[in-house]
Amino acid sequence: MKNIFTYSTAFVLGLALVATPDADAQQFSKRKQYNSVGFSLNAMNYFGDVTPVTNFTSLRFGATRVGAGVSITRRFYPRLSGRFGLMYGRISGDDSQAADPASPDAKFRYNRNMSFRNDILEASAVAIFDLIENRNNYLKRPDFVPYVFAGVAGFYHNPKGLYKDGSYVDLQPLKTEGQSEAYSKTQFAIPFGGGIRYRINRNFDASLEIGWRKTFTDYIDDVGGKYAPANSLTTDVQRYFGGGNPIAGGGLGGTFADGGGLTKSRTGEFASFDIPGTQRGDKGNKTDWYITTGVTLNYILTPRIKNPKFR
């Protein structure tokens, strides 16, 4: 996590240094700076515990959900702009769809049978570095401009699970892994990525962009550690999402094999599958990611140009 943060911070600083005006760029006057407002339509996905493979390169396209956002961008220098954005969207995951029951590794996630959906509200501030510079005003900007970006973001999230009665239940208050304190719904992330911007006409640009969000939580999907300690799950809904076994929850009755909950099987190779202390999420304290791929329409606010006064 520290390495990711260090590398991303260095990347942002590097962009700023590269884009720092030299003797020529110092002539880039405020008359050439301008603002634009944008609206984005995004496809959202995530990398975490409830994916085909538990690493940040894995995602399931069938879990893609829609998001939208608004932004305001300020062009400061020939290559460098700053953007503040707000985005709202949903991510989801489902072991029964993502995990291969025939895979030696994934079959255990398939048997875990976890699923979730999570609505995310994000506020971000990023630096945008154009790979093609424009020393002129907005009227003479290039038709195509590839760019990269990086910055910081804060987001609010609320993972929910589908209960047996067909309703969606907030998972964070349930402490499904027997945590002493519930994880925070407010988190930070490092957004970074790239895109290409196309000039439509005098005032409109369209861009295609992909961006990754490196978070610092393992609970976007409510799965991050081990099955709950014995007797820590006291309600039916906790036992259902936390594993459902009577040893962990108590009071369900019957044998371990018919303990209920999400788990598909507790017999054969899955005997004692979700007993207290066994692994529920991925090993190694990996954190979750989410990704946005979107199209943005930007409207350039025509700058006011003050003509010099002559006496």
Provide the whole-model pTM: 0.84
- Rounded to an integer, the average pLDDT of 40-51 is 92
Q: Is the pLDDT of residue 99 over 80?
A: yes
Q: Is the pLDDT of residue 135 over 90?
A: no
Residue 241 φ then ψ, to 5°:
-85, -25
Q: Is the pLDDT of residue 66 over 70?
A: yes
Q: Which amino acid is at 21?
A: P
pLDDT-derived band at 8, boundaries 50, 70, 90 = low
User: Does residue 95 contact residue 113 with C-beta atoms inside 8 Å?
Assistant: yes
* Lowest-pLDDT range of 8-22, 79-93, 180-194, 270-284: 8-22
pLDDT-derived band at 120, boundaries 50, 70, 90 = very high
Return d(Cα 286, Cα 264) in angstroms, integer. Answer: 25
Q: Is the pLDDT of residue 186 over 90?
A: yes
Q: Enumerate domains of the chain plus CATH numbers.
A: 2-18+30-226+284-301 (2.40.160.20), 231-278 (no CATH)
Higher pLDDT: 68 or 56? It is: 68
* pLDDT reported for residue 71: 98
- Rounded to an integer, the average pLDDT of 31-50 is 92
* pLDDT reported for residue 230: 75
* pLDDT reported for residue 310: 55
Q: Is the pLDDT of residue 24 over 50?
A: no
pLDDT-derived band at 23, boundaries 50, 70, 90 = very low
Q: Is the pLDDT of residue 308 over 60?
A: no
Q: Is the pLDDT of residue 248 over 50?
A: no
pLDDT-derived band at 138, boundaries 50, 70, 90 = confident
Q: Is the pLDDT of residue 290 over 60?
A: yes
* Lowest-pLDDT range of 147-151, 221-225, 244-248: 244-248
* pLDDT reported for residue 265: 85
DSSP per position, the chain: -HHHHHHHHHHHHHHHHHHS--TTGGG--GGG-EEEEEEEEEEEEEESSSSSSSSTT---GGG-EEEEEEEEEEE-SSSEEEEEEEEEEEEEEEHHHHS-TTSTTHHHHHHH--EEEEEEEEEEEEEEEESS---S-GGG--SEEEEEEEEEEEEEEEEEEE-TTS-EEESGGG-TT--SSPPPSEEEEEEEEEEEEEE-SSSEEEEEEEEEEEES-S-SSS--SBPPPTT---SHHHHHHHT--HHHH-S--S-GGG--SS----SGGGTTTT-TTSB-S-SS-PPPEEEEEEEEEEEEEPPP-PPPP--
* pLDDT reported for residue 232: 84
Write down the mean pLDDT value for the chain. Answer: 85
Return d(Cα 205, Cα 20) in angstroms, integer. Answer: 25
CB 168: neighbour CB atoms within 10 A? 12
The CB-side HSE value for 145 (13 A sphere, CA atoms) comes to 25
* pLDDT reported for residue 251: 44
Higher pLDDT: 106 or 216? It is: 216
Return d(Cα 176, Cα 237) in angstroms, integer. Answer: 9
**Of 132-141, 213-222, 299-308, which one has max mean pLDDT?**
213-222
